[in-house]
Amino acid sequence: MTKPLVAILSGAGISTDSGIPDYRGPNGLWRRDPAAEKLVTYEYYMSDPEIRRRSWQMRRQSETLKAEPNAAHLAVAELERSGVPVRVITQNVDGLHQLAGMPTRKVLELHGTARAVVCTQCHARGPMEDALARVEAGEDDPPCLECGGVLKSATVMFGERLDPVVLGEAVAITKACQIFIAVGTSLQVQPAAGLAGIAADHGARLIIVNAEPTPYDDLADEVVREPIGTALPELLRTLRDADQADG
C-alpha cells in the first residue's frame, strides 16, 4: 500500500518559539519599523551603499543564525524519519528544518536562505558566516571575492522573483500530496499562499495550523488555532500512528 505523501508549508509562525520574530504579525518587524523593509528591497539595496551598510549591520545583529530548532521543527523531522514521505515547502529563510534533521533535498526554500550569500553579478555563493566575519573585521559592505560585485543575502528580497525551479517543484509536490499542512503562515503572500488552494483543488486533505484566521480557512478540512509548539507535534504524532496502523 502506498504511503500518503505529506506536504508541509511552513511560515514564520513555526519559528517564533525559536526566538525569530515574524514579519507581519501584531508585533512583526514591518509593523514596528517600516523603514526596515527598505533594507531588504532589491532596488534600494543595489542603488544605495548606505542601505547595504545598514543591511549588513542588521544581519550581524539578527537572531536567525543563532536560533535553534524548536519542538515543531523536530516533530516534522521525526515524522520523516518514521518512514512517512514528507516534503517541506518553507517561506522561512532560517534553515531550522534542516538543523532539526530534515534532509536538505526534502526542503524547498521558497524565499532562499539567510545562511548563505550570493553575488549579484557572478552568482558565486558562500557561507553568510564568512561574510559577517569580514564585516566584523571592518568591511562595512564586503564585495564578492570572486569578481568584486555586490554581495547580498541568498534570500529573495522584495522586488526579486522567486526561483522558478523551486516554485515549480513546490507546485508539483502540492498537486501530488494527499495531506497538505499549512503551519504558521498567514497565507497572504502569493504565490506561496496559493499552494493551499492548489492542494485543496487536487483533493488533498488541507489542515491549517495558525493563530490567526487565513483566507483559506473555508477550504480546510481542519483548522487548528492552538499554539504551534504543542499542536503540530500532536497532529504529526496522530498522522504517524495512523500510518503505522495502516502499515
Dump pLDDT digits (tens) for 77-102: 999 999 999 999 999 999 999 999 99
Domain positions in the chain are 1-20+69-111+161-247, 22-62+113-155
Distance CA 220, CA 216 (A): 7
The letter for the amino acid at 187 is L
Dump pLDDT digits (tens) for 103-131: 999 999 999 999 999 999 999 999 999 99
Q: Which CATH number fits domain 22-62+113-155: 3.30.1600.10, 2.40.128.720, 3.40.50.720, 3.20.20.70?
A: 3.30.1600.10
Give the pLDDT confidence score for residue 74 in this predicted structure: 98
1-20+69-111+161-247 architecture in CATH?
3-Layer(aba) Sandwich (3.40)
Indicate the pairing of strand 6-10 with strand 86-90. parallel
The letter for the amino acid at 108 is L
Specify whether 111 is catalytic.
Answer: yes
Among the listed residues 73, 97, 111, 202, the single catalytic one is 111
Question: Quick one: how far is CA 222 from the chain centroid?
Answer: 22
- Mean pLDDT of the region 49-71: 92
